[in-house]
Amino acid sequence: MHTHTIRMIPVLVPLPFLLLSAPVSAAPPVTYFSGIDCKKDFGPAVDAICRHDGLRFLDDKIAQRYSEAYARAWWVGKRHLKTDQQKFLASRDACGVDTKCLLAVMQRRVQTIGISRWS
């Protein structure tokens, strides 16, 4: 009876080939909407948000939650999300430089974004 031995030979595989062979996720990519761009956007409310770290954090959170809700929503839900976002932006901008008003409006938006029968 013959026995065969198998010798393992180390093979160096270039990194790009390893990256190409990585498993691909089946989940669709999520497009994130960015929050305020303090270098481009303007207006009293935007200026107040850009100068206040807590408000900038809330703005980023709103952008993240909006992106997630938009990615989950059906087409009717997307339309309602856009309408709700426009209403939020109008109420946010109506606050002007009043940081207490901005804080209240933005906190309410973080809590309610994406809560709809359409999303």
104 lies in a domain?
yes
Tens place of pLDDT for every residue, the chain, 119 residues?
555 555 545 545 454 443 444 444 444 444 444 588 888 888 999 999 999 999 999 999 999 999 999 998 888 889 999 999 999 999 999 999 999 999 999 999 999 987 755 44
| Per-residue pLDDT at 27 | 43
CB 48 within 8 Å of CB 97: yes
Measure the CA–CA gap between 28 and 9, rounded to whole angstroms.
39
103 lies in a domain?
yes
Q: What is the number of domains present in the chain? A: 1
Q: Is the dihedral of CA 101, 97, 63, 58 positive or negative?
A: negative
CB 45 within 8 Å of CB 55: no
Reported pTM: 0.68
4 lies in a domain?
no
Domain that holds residue 85: 42-119
| Per-residue pLDDT at 77 | 86
94 lies in a domain?
yes
96 lies in a domain?
yes
CB 66 within 8 Å of CB 82: no
119 lies in a domain?
yes
33 lies in a domain?
no
18 lies in a domain?
no
| Per-residue pLDDT at 97 | 97
